[in-house]
Copies of this chain bind each other. A is one copy, B any other.
Amino acid sequence: MSDLLPLPRPLVLAEDRLVILDQTALPQTERYLELYTPQDVFAAIQKLQVRGAPAIGIAAAYGLYLGLRPLANCQSPVPASAVMDRAEDVARYLRSARPTAVNLAWALERLLSALRHGLAGGLDARELVELARRTATTLLEEDDAVCAAIGRHGLELVRRVAAQVTGREIGILTHCNAGGLATAGWGTALAVIYMAHAAGLPVHVYADETRPVLQGARLTAWELQRTGVPVTLICDNMAGALMAKGRVDLCIVGTDRVAANGDVANKIGTYTVAVLARHHGIPFYVAAPTSSIDMELPSGEAIPIEERSPEEVTTIAGQRIAPTDVDVWNPAFDVTPAELVSALITEHGVLYPPYTEALQTLKLRRP
């Protein structure tokens, strides 16, 4: 699968180090960082050099492995229990890099759980360290598989739209970055686009710049340009005019959390895109790995919306663009109600309304 990846992998384990694409240097510079220790990984996560929930989880898993690796190479062998103790310590440390990142805690717990089973099964120190490495790589491969499956299912939706569009490009609007940079390489929403492009469909992507943090301008535009997918950058407020001109055939976005009724939380501005799509009769698709589906949440109303610092809005790249002390509303996410979502694209297939029923048919993976 990885040889088909649209992008150079944003994180790769080499022998004794994790090599990551530094997302803070994008879009100006494609720079790779070499991380040798859990401390290096911790710093990279905190500085947002690696970002995106799945990517953070995988980076942390490799960080845990890097913390155990010296124990496999000691002159005098260490007891297996010492590896387990170290693993618990390192996991606790890494978890604190971004305490609210669910995937981070989940990935570390996957590794610890594998190690506990290994310890109970009588593995020695060297074998446990090797198990940590293999488990981290399994997380990465699972992410590839999930994203690629979403891409393939979504491709069928794009084909259906393409069948109604002849002699011109298929316009696809996306918001924020649900791309390879946020995962092990494929992305979720962008996996669909990469698959469609690879299948020879004449897709043309319109990337919302996605204020305030500009993930669309900085990351999505970069990713698509890097991979040769035709892309046009727009400001968020141009999406309506673009649709009115008939240049958007479908919208596809990622999600941070899907409630049991199909309500979707995603980057602020997603809801505005969904309303515009409905007004123009354009399908609005959400790429939703089942790991983002939270059946404990009855509806989007129960999803807590983080409000972030006013400085994200009042300054750009260190430059002040608004009056001092002006009041700002800066929610990080919004909730798109299920009735505006044309379909949810999961790794197990495409779900259509009513979502309450459709989501219950999924066998959801529990951490």
Contacts and interface: CB of A to CB of B under 8 A. Distances in A.
Contact of A241 (B221, B272, B317): B272
A232 B328 contact: yes
Interface stretch (A6-14, A97-105, A161-169, A274-282): A274-282
Contacts of A240: 269, 271-272, 275, 334
A214 B221 CA distance: 21
A212 B366 CA distance: 43
A322 B241 contact: no
A313 interface: yes
A237 B332 CA distance: 11
Interface stretch (A109-117, A152-160, A193-201, A202-210): A202-210
Interface in A212-238: 212, 214, 217-218, 221-222, 225, 230-238
A231 B313 CA distance: 14
A326 B229 CA distance: 11
Q: SS class of chain A's interface: helix, strand, loop or mixed?
A: mixed
A1 to B, nearest CB: 27
Contact of A272 (B237, B316, B321): B237
A304 interface: no
A233 B27 contact: no
A286 to B, nearest CB: 16
Contact of A268 (B27, B238, B279): B238
Contact of A221 (B27, B225, B272, B322): B322
A269 B241 CA distance: 7
Given A211-B236, A235-B269, 6 more contacts: A27-B326, A217-B321, A235-B268, A241-B271, A241-B272, A241-B334
Contacts of A327: 230-233
A218 B275 CA distance: 28
A316 B314 contact: no
A203 B362 CA distance: 48
Contacts of A175: 237
Interface in A235-278: 235-242, 244, 268-269, 271-272, 275-276, 278
A76 interface: no
B231 A211 contact: no
Which of A212, A317, A327 has most chain B Cβ within 10 Å? A327
B241 A331 contact: yes
A317 to B, nearest CB: 3
A75 interface: no
A306 B32 CA distance: 41
A345 B75 CA distance: 84
A269 B326 contact: no
Contacts of A330: 234-235, 238
A318 interface: yes
Interface in A302-355: 313-314, 316-331, 334-335
Given A217-B321, A221-B323, A319-B316, A329 B211 contact: no
